[in-house]
Amino acid sequence: MDHLTCVDYIVAKCLKIYWPEVIISCYCKSFALTKIKVQGRYQVKSVQNIIFCAALLGLPFTITGVVNTAQAAGNVNVYSYRQPILVKPLFEAFTKQTGIKVNVLFAKKGLVERIKTEGKNSPADLIFTTDVGRLSGALKAGVTQPVISPVLTKNIPSAYRDKDNNWFGLTTRTRIVLASRDRVKQDTITYEELADPKWRGKICMRSGQHVYNIALIASMIAHHGEAKAKQWLKGVKANLAGKPSGNDRAQAKGVFSGRCDLAIANNYYMGKMETNDKHPEQKQWAASVKMLFPNSQNRGVHVNVSGIALAAHAPHKDNAIKLMEFLASDQGQQIYAKAVFEYPVKPGVEWSERNKSWGMFKADTLPLNDIVKNRKRASELVDIVGFNNGPSS
């Protein structure tokens, strides 16, 4: 076989996992138009399924014709930035309830760009991702479409979804302070206090340009205005223990090692560290800190979301909306929030026992759409104050 451009090769590699019966027309450099018969029976599948299968293999390909482009019944294709192990129980529950099979393509980056490249033939039905910045980025890229669903608008508060319903939050996560149990006596804090000189050299934080921090800074702009947010950011920079680096867990390690007394992190990292049997040292990092939910005594702790969007050219739109509605149901909310150590976005759904153990908090009611509006300026302020250059710059 010449190169890896033949669709029959792609299908042969994927058949056992996704589509056990298929007939297609394909072109290879050294082959004429070919029909493939599998297991003695023909089942027509769509061009979107072939593209999805090839995407999973990371293969380039050329399709010259399809015998029939009828949709594959009972499938929904999810492009996911969330690791398969986290979403597997969620999708299994959906399939058990509906009979609809969920096919997942996971990647750490580049899925939105891939959907744009695939264009109208994209097999993507849903985009599964984290952070309002990434959700709004998918919208800006033109790869989403609005959803009309009374279930979604009823179950998901307006503060946690796009104003035109192009994306929806499914779980919430808080941007918290991890404080040393040994060296920090106070049990409450505010984001504003992070700029207080009393914390000079005592704060660990990842890059200011990371989406999690951009959202926090954007919320400060929304609450205080640009001028005060800029001064606050300068104050936090002056209090850093060193040049921002690493991920959120690395900041907790910094507290454990004594490099700093406070770390800024998303709450679910505590769950990841507390349950990490593969790297048990992380359990020690988690045990060395206490979780403080900033501003719980006034406006509330900064909240972001994990969310979902319907792809612009979703080939299985009805099934995709069914999955979205399941994710917003009591059952879906409980399964998902527990799996990722986050909080249900639907009011009234009970938290997991682990999340309960971390304590209650008041959530900021600032609409995420307001954060989206201020993200660009937040990013610019990070550069203007030289945040990522560290405290001595």
pLDDT in tens, 169-221: 999 999 999 999 999 999 999 999 999 999 999 999 999 999 999 999 999 99
Q: Measured between alpha carbons, how far is 50 from 219 in angstroms, rounded to an integer?
A: 43
- Rounded to the nearest 5 degrees, what angle is found at the Cα of 310, between the Cα atoms of 308 and 315? 140
pLDDT in tens, 285-319: 999 999 999 999 999 999 999 999 999 999 999 99
For residue 176, which phi and psi values (nearest 5 degrees)? -115, 180
pLDDT in tens, 133-142: 999 999 999 9
pLDDT at position 393 = 72
Q: Looking at beta carbons, which pairs linking 153-160 to residues 24 or more positions away fall under 8 Å?
A: 155/328, 155/329, 155/345, 155/346, 156/328, 156/345, 156/346, 157/345, 157/347, 158/367, 159/365, 159/366, 159/367, 159/368, 160/305, 160/307, 160/345, 160/368
- Asked if residue 74 lies in contact with residue 319, where contact means CB atoms within 8 angstroms, the answer is yes
Banded model confidence at residue 392, pLDDT cuts 50, 70, 90: confident
Q: Measured between alpha carbons, how far is 102 from 27 in angstroms, rounded to an integer?
A: 28
- Stronger pLDDT, 230 or 60, i.e. the higher one: 230
173-302+363-389 topology per CATH: D-Maltodextrin-Binding Protein; domain 2 (3.40.190)
What are the Cα distances from residue 20, in Å, to 9, 44, 45, 69? 14, 11, 11, 17
Mean pLDDT along residues 115-140:
95
* Sequence-separated (6 or more) residues with CB below 8 Å from residue 159: 365, 366, 367, 368
Residue 142 has which token pair? 């033109």
75-171+303-348 topology per CATH: D-Maltodextrin-Binding Protein; domain 2 (3.40.190)
Asked if residue 21 has pLDDT above 50, the reply is: no
pLDDT at position 51 = 52
CATH 3.40.190.10 in the chain is located at 75-171+303-348, 173-302+363-389
Mean pLDDT along residues 102-108:
94
Does this model's pTM top 0.85? no
